[in-house]
Amino acid sequence: MTRIGIDVGGRTHVVARCREGEARADRGVLSVSQSRAGFSALDAWLDAGPEPVELVVMESSGHYWMPLAAHLRRRDVPVAVVNPLAARYFAKSRLGRTKSDPADARSLAEMAMRDTPLARDPLVGVELRQAARFAMTLVTEQAKVCQRLYRLVELGFPELRELFDDPTCRTARAVLRIAPTARAATRRHTATLANASPAARRRSDSRAPSTRRIAPSTSG
């Protein structure tokens, strides 16, 4: 039986083969593109091999491995997705000194032959994990935006904090859109400030006069 190692790239994947009974992978490798044509070329290369493919090993780097892993699973080819650190430690244990895509692919093929990583459906739970990461990214970005807004308010209109405990709230943002500084607030009519946000008009109505009253203290 043959075991395969694939070094996954953004546009190109490098594929290496290790034959049963061999400790080292074949020197010859295959480069395929991240496309249907590339996957078809990979299928032809695997089918033309001297032995059936027992296992394919690739790293879980980024998201580029997902289409390739899904394609192989649709063909009922066993796929093991390994941690990049585990692959790196294996390469060091084999005294691999050359760092290149072909060398990495051969190292993964040898890892598949020696360690036989567990093959499982590589995409199980992936969508949930990606959604969780995306949600955490949005939370982090929102916190950064709020910090910038706090800083801008403190520089240009610090008295706004007397009216709004949270200058990032909906009503405060509506006011800041039309009066981003104290000087701008003094030039706006009370009605304009009150109508800054139709959805929050009730709160704006009560605070608009106060906004104009406190603005002159920092408008210079």
CA distances from 153 to 34, 147, 182 (A): 48, 10, 9
Model confidence pLDDT, tens digit, residues 55-66: 999 998 778 888
| Average pLDDT, rounded, for the chain | 81
Model confidence pLDDT, tens digit, residues 115-145: 989 888 777 656 666 667 778 888 889 889 8
pLDDT range class, residue 96, cuts 50, 70, 90: low
Alpha-carbon distance 220 to 181, whole Å?
A: 11
Domain boundaries, the chain: 2-124, 127-219
Phi and psi (nearest 5°) for 19? Answer: -85, 155
Percent pLDDT > 70 in the chain is: 80
Alpha-carbon distance 149 to 122, whole Å?
A: 42
Q: Does pTM surpass 0.85?
A: no
Alpha-carbon distance 211 to 191, whole Å?
A: 11
Domain 2-124: CATH architecture, name and number where available = 2-Layer Sandwich (3.30)
Beta bridge partners of residue 7, listed in sequence order: 14
Ranges 16-20, 165-169, 214-218, most confident? 16-20
Q: Tokens 């691999």 sit at which residue?
A: 96
Question: Residues near 115 by Cβ (< 8 Å), separated by ≥ 6?
Answer: 90
Per-residue tokens: 120: 């499982």
pLDDT range class, residue 80, cuts 50, 70, 90: very high
Predicted pLDDT of residue 82: 93
Question: Residues near 129 by Cβ (< 8 Å), separated by ≥ 6?
Answer: none
pLDDT higher than 70, residue 158: yes
Other CB atoms within a 10 A radius of the CB of residue 106 amount to 28
Query: What residue spans of the chain are helical by DSSP H?
Result: 36-47, 65-74, 84-93, 101-115, 126-156, 170-178, 182-186, 190-194, 201-214, 216-219
- The residue that leads in pLDDT, 86 or 201, is 86
Question: Residues near 29 by Cβ (< 8 Å), separated by ≥ 6?
Answer: 14, 15, 16, 102, 105, 106
